[in-house]
Structures are given as structure tokens and as C-alpha cells.
Amino acid sequence: MTRRIVTGAHYGLRDWLAQRITALVLAVGSVVVIGALLWSGPITYPVWKELFSHGAMRVATLLVAVALAWHAWVGVRDILMDYIKPDGLRLALHVAVLLAIAGWLGWTVEILWG
């Protein structure tokens, strides 16, 4: 039996799990959206506008956007960790990706409630 004392910040497992939970949220969300688009007839502006005027639709969209932001962050961070070796460059790219993701979250809020 090995007695291994786990040390460190433990964010590895948390991120691994978050990646999978957000994946499920995104999978369900996208199936619902695609299903709804296939189900509905041709979409006109009033229909489109009315769809996004419901509070529930706005909150659901924001929920999916947050799940996407988290999922994308863990995924892109993993890619950068694997391929970008110089520390300074990797840090700079991490910051750029975080800012970009924060940017599209803010933009989503503005689109939904602006």
C-alpha cells in the first residue's frame, strides 16, 4: 500500500471535473437550441427579438455562456501548457485568453440586457 500525501493547490482535479460538468451543460444546451431551431419555422426579426426578450431565455443563455467560458478557459489553457514552453510567452497568452473570455462574457451580458 502506498501512502501518498497529496500536496499542492488541488486545482487539477477541480478543473478536470469542471471541464466535464460544463461539457454536459453545453451538450444539453446546444441540443436544445439546435432542436428548437429545427422545430421552428423560418425565423423573422420579431420572432428572434421576442425569443430573447424572455427572462428565462436570457438567464439560460447566460448560463450556457458561463459554462462555455469556463470550459474554453480550461481547454485553451491545457493546449497552451502543452505546446508553449517559454514561461513569459505562456503567461502572456494565458492573460490574453482570460481577457478575451472575460470580454465575450461581458459582451454576452450586454447583448442580452443592453
- Residues 110, 19, 58: CA angle, nearest 5 degrees: 25
CA–CA separation, 42 vs 19, rounded Å?
A: 35
Nearer to other proteins, 18 or 97 (CB): 97
The contact set with other proteins (CB under 8 A) reads 20, 23-24, 27, 30, 45, 48-49, 52, 68, 72, 75-76, 79, 97, 100, 104, 107-108, 111
Nearer to other proteins, 5 or 55 (CB): 55
Nearer to other proteins, 27 or 91 (CB): 27
